[in-house]
Amino acid sequence: MRQAGQAAPPFSPVLLLGLALEPVRPSLLQPVFDAMLNLVRRRHPDILERMAAYADAVICIDPTDLPFALLLEPDPAAPRLTVRRDVDPAEVSATVRGPLETLIALAEGRVDGDALFFSRQLVVEGDTEVVVALRNAVDGAGIDLLEDMATALGPFGRPVRAVAGAALGLLSRLRRDAETLRQAVIAPAVQGAEIQSARLTELEAEVKALRRAARPARTARGQTA
Amino acid sequence: MSTAAEPARPDLVRPELVCPAGTPAALKSAVEAGADCVYVGFRDETNARNFPGLNFSRKELDEGIAFAHAHGAKVLVAINTFPRAGQPELWHRAVDDAAAMGADALILADIGLVDYAARRHPQARLHLSVQAAASNPEAIRFYAERFGVQRVVLPRVLTVQEIAALNAKIRPVETEVFVFGGLCVMAEGRCALSSYATGQSPNVNGVCSPAAHVRYVEQAGGITSQLGGFTINRFGPGEPAGYPTLCKGRFVADGKASYLFEEPTSLNTLGMLPDLIRAGVTAFKIEGRQRGRAYVAAVVQAFRAGVDAVLAGRPVPDLDLDRITEGGRQTTGAYEKAWR
């Protein structure tokens, strides 16, 4: 969910998907996330067990390249994952914000949460303890979303794996194409910036030389003459 | 640093790679990545990484030990905080349970707890935690002779030469040194910086700069990190960030904002492994029980490759670990004391 004043999300197929989803009502997407929560709850009950101390928390999971956010209520007895177009900061305990692919990689333990934070790819706001607990609980669960879905589908798992594999291949190609497109779009701006940078370096050298020339001569004892 | 190719070195003792795990999944990752030992803690304040959502229940540790042993790896249990005065029961129970579960060693810091473990579980292997800050031959010999401590985890204050000299004086006591991860600039086990700002410290509560006291405030010009209500750092747009600890805060002195104690950076001794092995170190420890599986797998694989290369007489591979370091930077810390 794009917020005013925040860094722009990366140009990616997900961002384009987000634009396509703009007109879609959140209520139409809700069943997908209900099913996803049920699946994770069934396959990884230890996540909610580790989050038991934070049953009353409301965590906003905010993919910056999609037009909606998810509110997670990790109450072990009645967990909820709600799709929302708008979120009032006052109604959530904490927010985790980042590109969708980064958030999925984090959930699957393919990237380290601290490293994402150090490199500023992940933004954390509000109650840091809740976010750290969720990160640790999810990382410890060993989630593999695709494998979890395929396993849950039983005999239909195999074709689903095949379709998902093809989709991931397509996504990878789209990502490459998006990057090429991005570079083509920004090429004139990059060229202009390079010219300005070179000119700035020249000017800095000139200022340095002028300062050196204007510096008063010093005596052998180090005092200003 | 010695990274040049050398012939296979059967004369060198193969050091153990001691790797962190904050969850059962991380333990599995560490073992599969080539850890000789995995160190873990219970889900309470008896260990120095008492972070929310982290650590092992009794059942998880039992299963973790079984998994590690089935794959030829050891499990070391860190019970390395200092019991509250007059209330040692939680720590005693941790020692009893870890010993009963078949932990390969107990990592202890408090001298009273070391005494308890030595008397109640004479068969248990005892390691002295870095939190005990034992760094001279007299202190180490005392722990070894009085309590039968077999290994000491050295504080990160000694040069490689000092470690080699120390090893010569304390044999047969083994030494374990940190080779990668976060750094503490203070005397470990005695740092109270976190207590000043939050009322909680790693020494007693098992947590430095607890997350409940940390806030990040996003603004147009960057991000501000606060600890216990105090602003301790501000990172500009895109500037690599670090942990929200006071020792890595940026403070204004003489009108200039700078890191007065330590800059956000991670220890990385990959290039120094030949020197550390020659110094007679028994075990290499990777910091980071609070880090994710991806970190554990990447660092353990890198150091497994590094140690194996040294023992085979090959150069240490130049593996890029920049992306997982704090602040995107690395240092060899006190091992070289390059600032001298």
For B134-161, write each residue's pLDDT tens digit: 999 999 999 999 999 999 999 988 999 9
Residue B222 and residue B84 in one domain: no
- Tokens 């490759």 belong to B305
Is there a contact between B53 and A125 if contact means CB atoms under 8 Å apart? Answer: no
Mean pLDDT of chain B: 92
Tokens of A66: 């999609």
Total of domains in chain B: 2
Q: Which of A15-19, A117-121, B36-40, B50-54 has the lowest mean pLDDT?
A: A15-19
Residues B148 and B209 occupy one common structural domain: no
Domain co-membership, B300 together with B277: yes
pTM, two decimal places: 0.83
For residue B242, how far is the Cα from the chain centroid? 17
Q: For residue B294, what are the contacts with CB-CB under 8 A and spacing of at least 6?
A: A109, A110, A111, A112, A115, B324
Give the burial string for A69-101 (b: 16+ CB within 10 Å, else e): bbbbbbbeeebebbbbeebeeeebbbbbbbbbb
Side-chain half-sphere exposure of B174, counting CA atoms within 13 A:
19
Write down the pLDDT at residue B267. 93
Whether residues B22 and B157 fall in one domain = yes
From the list B25, B52, B217, the residue facing A133 with the nearest CB is B52
Q: For the segment B73-112, what is each residue's pLDDT rounded down to a tens digit?
A: 999 999 999 999 899 999 999 999 999 999 999 999 999 9
- Distance (Å) of CA B282 to CA B25, B93, B228, B337: 26, 29, 39, 22
User: Do B67 and B102 have their domain in common?
Assistant: yes
Does the pLDDT of residue B172 top 70, yes or no? Answer: yes
Residues B301 and B328 placed together within one structural domain of the fold: yes
Q: Is residue B141 part of a domain?
A: yes
- CATH class label, A13-152: alpha beta
pLDDT at position B2: 45
- Mean pLDDT for A30-37 is 90
Confidence (pLDDT) at A225: 33
Q: Are residues B208 and B100 in the same domain?
A: no
Q: List, in sequence order, every residue forming a beta bridge with A61; answer none if it has no partner.
A: A70, A96
| Contact (CB<8Å) A112/B51 | no
Name the residue ranges covered by the structural domains of chain A. 13-152, 158-213
Give domain status of residue B328, yes or no. yes
- B104, B155: one domain: yes
Output the pLDDT for position B1.
44
B192 in a domain, yes or no? Answer: no
Q: Which residues of A18-33 are buried (b: 16+ CB within 10 A; e: fewer)?
A: beeeeeeebeeeeeeb
How long is chain B? 340
Average pLDDT, chain A: 83
B128 and B248 within one domain: no
Judged by CB atoms closer than 8 Å, whether chains meet at A128 and B241 is answered as no
pLDDT of residue A4: 57
Q: How far is A28 from chain B (nearest CA, A)?
A: 32
Q: What is the DSSP string of B218-247?
A: EETTEEEEEETTEEEEEE-TTPPP----GG
Q: Which domain holds residue B143?
A: 16-183+265-335
pLDDT at B253 over 60: yes
- B218:A125 CB<8 A: yes
Looking at B216, B234, B259, the residue that finishes a domain is B259
Q: CA–CA separation, A72 vs A60, rounded Å?
A: 6
pLDDT score at A6:
64
- Output the domain CATH number for residue B100: 3.20.20.70
How far is Cα A143 from Cα A50, in angstroms, rounded to an integer? 15
Q: Is residue B319 part of a domain?
A: yes
Encoded tokens for B115: 């005494």
**Do B166 and B137 touch, CB atoms closer than 8 A?**
yes
pLDDT digits (tens, 9 = 90+) for A143-175: 887 777 777 777 766 776 777 677 767 766 776
Do B39 and B167 share a domain, yes or no?
Answer: yes
Q: Indicate if B149 and B252 belong to the same structural domain.
A: no
ipTM: 0.86
Q: For B43, which residue in chain A has the nearest alpha carbon?
A: A50
Reported as a single tens digit per residue, the pLDDT across B182-231 is 888 777 888 889 999 999 988 888 889 999 999 998 887 788 999 999 99
| A chain contacts of residue B211, beta-carbon cutoff 8 Å | 128-129, 131-133
Whether residue B6 is contained in a domain is answered as: no
Same domain, B149 and B70: yes
